[in-house]
Amino acid sequence: MPSEKIAPPLWQRNLLFAVACVVGASAVVSNLLTSDTMSAPKHQAGRYEKPSFRMAVDWVDEEFAADWKKAKLEPAPPADELTQIRRLSLGLTGTIPSLQEIRAVEAQPEGERIQWWLSHLFADRRTSEYLAERFARAYVGVENGPFLIYRRRRFVSWLADEFEANRPYDEIVRSLITAEGLWTNNPEVNFVTVTVDQNEEKKGPDEVKLAARVTRAFLGVRIDCVQCHDDYLGDEWLQKDFHQLASFFGEADLAISGIRETGNPYEFEYRRQREMVKVPTIVPFQPELLPERGRPRHRLGRWVTHKENRAFARATVNRVWALMFGRPLVEPVDEIPLKDSLENPYPPGLEILTDDFIINNFNLQRLIRVIAATRVFGLDSKMPVGHAPPTLEHDEHRAAFTLSRLRPEQVAGSIIQSASLTAIDADSHIIFQLNRSIQQGDFIKRYGDIGEDEFYIQGGTIPQRLLMMNGTLVHERIKNDLVTNAASRILATASNDTKVVEATYLAVLSRRPSEAEAKYFVDALSQKSFLSRKAKQADLYWALINSTEFSWNH
């Protein structure tokens, strides 16, 4: 047979098999023997109790307390710490904490756990990568973009590096606005090249798209609404405001060597005028902050990120808040009034956090820590027994934590994480990483990504429920498999059924079972039935993964 001729000699095949066995076995062993391999993050205990930090937190707390008092609302009590830990993990890494991580955080002294957890997350590459992906949606959207000259993955990876180094956010944004060169060598250039429309006659970056992105993503204003005509009803913006801003990108040009400042000045034909006119470079507000000299994009970058241009810091605070809470402070996330008024005051906390962000040189990690330390972030999403449940008014005033539906990658990540006792992260073995990304990709497609419009609250759908109840990913992750699945390993290693149920709850829902739940499932495990214990344990996993609690941030 022809296949025998091309097959390698037997000894080679045996060797290959042996190598595969060794690799596989080492992977299994490294995954099984996980008792205490988690490295401790650099964390300075007590640092986040100092006045310079507490002051910002206390002021935010006072503003919210005053608002609740005025609205005559009883705020929800604090959520337990594990619930807060879960919120932070979902918001910053897109997945739930592992059982091992929960044990580690519980070993920390009380009062220090939330900030210790953040130290842990900031040292974890998953955080920077996930934040980069979420920010990138606002910067460049989710589409694939122009062929060849746009590399979204490189862009996100670069952004992740910047976040990991905790580079001041104003510097990151200036890099984006002023990016030059090739999209491969200088990944930030993709912020510019994504706007090239390869089907238009005019080649080169699109000033209008760039101006729209800059104003929405960095400044939280929607001046692009006036690109076709003046704002007839509002008196805020004129059509020229937008195009004069777009004009800063006029000279950005697409050359063989990448993006260069060799283009022609921006021209536009205004409504009711019959000819194209050269549009001057003028900013729509606070013109005194614009540097007089320099190349147009550099001047624009300085103006956007100027410490006195509060719109910049405010927009960032609003976006970070949205990532942590599942909904922004001001809705929609990219439309914040430049000034507040008696009729439309800024929500509590916004200005204080904006100040704190500016004073601390646009330090994103500090901003996240401050928000995480506030009372409002820590509130429960439910009320204790004997109290009326939170109302829509509670949601409106944030007097209780508002439920938000998990994004598809958060659900997929959580399913896969719940099936592992240790954190599945960027450092884990390549076999597990591959497993994760393939399964996750298919799952996300079927669960339905909602793209850029990610902060609207939407209910669940039938395809999602079918996918969770009957789909491959959940089935594979809960079935009896001592090597890959935590369900089996918990059953095999826990000393009694109470411990089995508790560990399962911690691994899937990041909390301990209530008394009623514990009784129900311990009884179910110990009673004789037509099902084996392994099957019952898989069913417990199934029930927890299919719960509202699992699919929502709460």
Partner 1 sequence: MNYPCNSASHITRRTLLQTAGFGGLAWLTPVAHLLGRAQEKAPTHAPAKSIIMLWMAGGPSQLETFDPHEGKKIAGDTRAIDTSVKGVKLAHGLPRVAKVMDELTLVRSMVSKEGDHERAAYNVKTGYRPDPTLVHPSIGAVLCHEFPDAKMDIPRHISILPGQWPARGGYLGAQYDAFKVYNTNGRAGNITARVQPKRLDNRLAALEVVEQSFARGRRPDLDTKTTLHNTTIQKALRMMSSEQLSAFDVNQAPAKTRAAFGDTQFGRGCLAAIQLIGAGVRCVEVTLSGWDTHANNHEAHVTQNAILDPALAALIRELRTRKLLDQTIVICAGEFGRTPKINPADGRDHWPTGFSIALAGGGFRAGHVHGATAADGAKLDPLDKDSIHVADIHTTVQHALGIEYAKELMTPIGRPMALSDGRVIQTLLK
CB of 16 to partner 1, least distance (A): 35
Q: How far apart are CA 326 and CA 65, in angstroms?
A: 21
* Strand, coil or helix: 385: coil
CB 221 within 8 A of CB 335: yes
Binding mask 287-326 for partner 1 (x = CB under 8 A): ----------------------------------------
- Minimum distance from residue 474 beta carbon to partner 1 (Å): 9
**Would you call 225 exposed, middle or buried from its count of C-beta atoms within 10 A (0-12, 13-18, 19+)?**
middle
Q: Contact between 332 and partner 1 (CB under 8 A)? A: yes
Question: Closer to partner 1 at the Cβ: 26 or 548?
Answer: 548
Give the contact letters, 396-425, x = binds to partner 1 (CB under 8 A), - = no.
x------x-x--------------------
514 is an interface residue for partner 1 by CB under 8 A = yes
Helices (H), 448-532: 462-470, 472-478, 486-493, 497-509, 515-526
Residue 214, interface with partner 1 (CB under 8 A)?
no
Closer of 377 and 401 to partner 1 (Cβ):
401
Determine, following the binding rule CB under 8 A, whether residue 516 of this chain makes contact with partner 1: yes
Nearer to partner 1, 164 or 520 (CB): 520
Contact indicator for 477, 96 with CB cutoff of 8 Å: no
Instruction: Indicate which single residue of 74, 133, 164, 539 sits in contact with partner 1 (rule: CB under 8 A).
Output: 539
Burial pattern 17-37, b for ≥16 Cβ within 10 A else e, equals: eeeeeeeeeebeeebeebeee
**Interaction residues for partner 1, span 134-173 (CB under 8 A):** 143
Which region, judged by CB under 8 A, interacts with partner 1, from 51-59, 289-297, 330-338, 357-365?
Answer: 330-338
Closest to partner 1 by CB, 164 or 395:
395
Which part of the chain contacts partner 1 (CB under 8 A), choosing from 159-167, 216-224, 424-432, 490-498? 216-224
Residues 279, 323, 376, 540: which binds partner 1 (CB under 8 A)?
A: 540
Interaction between residue 452 and partner 1 (CB under 8 A): yes
Distance between CA atoms of residues 223 and 432, nearest Å: 45
* DSSP per residue, 322-362: HHHHSS-SSSSTT---SS--SSSPPPTTHHHHHHHHHHTTS
Residue 466 touching partner 1 (CB under 8 A): yes
Question: Comparing C-alpha atoms, which of 104, 46, 124, 53 is closest to residue 372?
Answer: 53
- The nearer residue to partner 1, 265 or 463, going by C-beta atoms, is 463
d(CA 425, CA 227): 44
CB of 114 or CB of 501, closer to partner 1: 501
Torsion angle of alpha carbons 210, 214, 217, 221, nearest 10°? -120
Among 1, 10, 233, 342, binds partner 1 (CB under 8 A): 233
Range 3-62, binding partner 1 (CB under 8 A) = none
Give 382 or 429: the residue with its C-beta nearer to partner 1.
382
Amino acid symbol at 298: H
Residue whose CB is less far from partner 1, 109 or 384: 384
Size (the chain), residues: 554
Residue 162 corresponds to which amino acid?
E
Interface positions, 371-390, toward partner 1 (CB under 8 A): 380-385, 387, 389-390
The closest alpha carbon to 32, from 95, 86, 100, belongs to 100
Site for partner 1 in 171-200 (CB under 8 A): 195, 197, 199-200
Contact between 215 and partner 1 by CB under 8 A: the answer reads: no
What is the Cα–Cα distance from 110 to 114, expressed in whole angstroms?
9
Q: How far is the CB of 231 from partner 1 (least distance, A)?
A: 6
Candidate residues 152, 216, 297, 366; the one interacting with partner 1 per rule CB under 8 A:
216
- Decide whether 222 or 295 has the Cβ nearer to partner 1: 222
Residues 181-213 as b or e (16 or more Cβ within 10 Å = b): ebbeebbbbbbbbbbbeeeeeeebbbbbbbbbb
Interacting residue with partner 1 among 58, 231, 267, 340 (CB under 8 A): 231
| CA-based R_g, the chain, Å | 26
